[in-house]
Amino acid sequence: MKLITEYTTSDVQCIVEKKENGEKKYVIEGVFAQADKKNRNGRVYPKPILEKAVNKYVKEQVKTHRAVGELNHPEGPTVNLDKVSHLITDLKFEGSNVVGKAQVLPTPMGKIVEGLLEGGVQLGVSTRGMGSLVQKNGAMEVGKDFILSTVDIVQDPSAPEAFVNGVMEGVDWVWNNGILSPQVIEEMETEIRTAPKAFQPEVQIREFKNFLSLIKSQI
């Protein structure tokens, strides 16, 4: 199974509500995912497959108030509670769109989200899940085994870290004694993340070349 992340190009809206005590409550809502449409990553989620995954997530996570997400994507499918920034309170299909609503939580990461929104920063959402991919009709179609892990709050993924996220997304994840763990790439990721900021572009290029060499050696 692959770790699959998708940035939604549709803008999400931030609604600021006031609680009875006068405190502000931040809510993000909009299109969280789309079915039957080739996205910017060249992937297609057939509606029956995405619908099944969303319904399962709503039943097991949203309705039990456990549907939390993070600020930015981590390297794996597991939600890290110390990085949680929001609680997804609603998720449903409207046509081919999955429309959602998330409440920003008063956690350290949630406070960062609030600060960004207060400063006028346009944030987006990105789904994170696990599943297989099959080449079909010029696109990578997500398989029937797709599992939706959560929806994270992100900025545009074309940031410098995009290479790291892209590599980690391509890693095969396997169940090992009940724990999901990556099979490869960990050393490359560590090299990039621990490099001094001034040298990160050079390290990213070097590790990217190493990554391409690794791919060629496996073809």
Closest CA to 104 of 79, 123, 85: 85
Indicate which residue of 86, 126, 149, 181 is catalytic.
Answer: 126
Model confidence band, residue 152 (pLDDT cutoffs 50, 70, 90):
very high
- C-alpha–C-alpha distance, residues 195 and 203, integer Å: 7
- C-alpha–C-alpha distance, residues 154 and 126, integer Å: 7
* Chain length of the chain: 219
Q: Is the pLDDT of residue 193 over 80?
A: no
**Residues 51 and 36: beta-carbon distance below 8 Å:** no
Global pTM value? 0.70
Indicate which residue of 73, 85, 86, 149 is catalytic.
Answer: 73
Question: What's the gap between Cα 107 and its chain centre?
Answer: 19
State the Rg of the chain over Cα.
18
Q: How many CA atoms lie less than 13 Å away from 126 in the CB half-sphere?
A: 23
**Annotation marks residue 126 as catalytic:** yes
pLDDT digits (tens, 9 = 90+) for 29-88: 988 888 998 887 788 999 999 999 999 999 999 999 999 999 988 878 889 999 999 999
**Annotation marks residue 65 as catalytic:** no
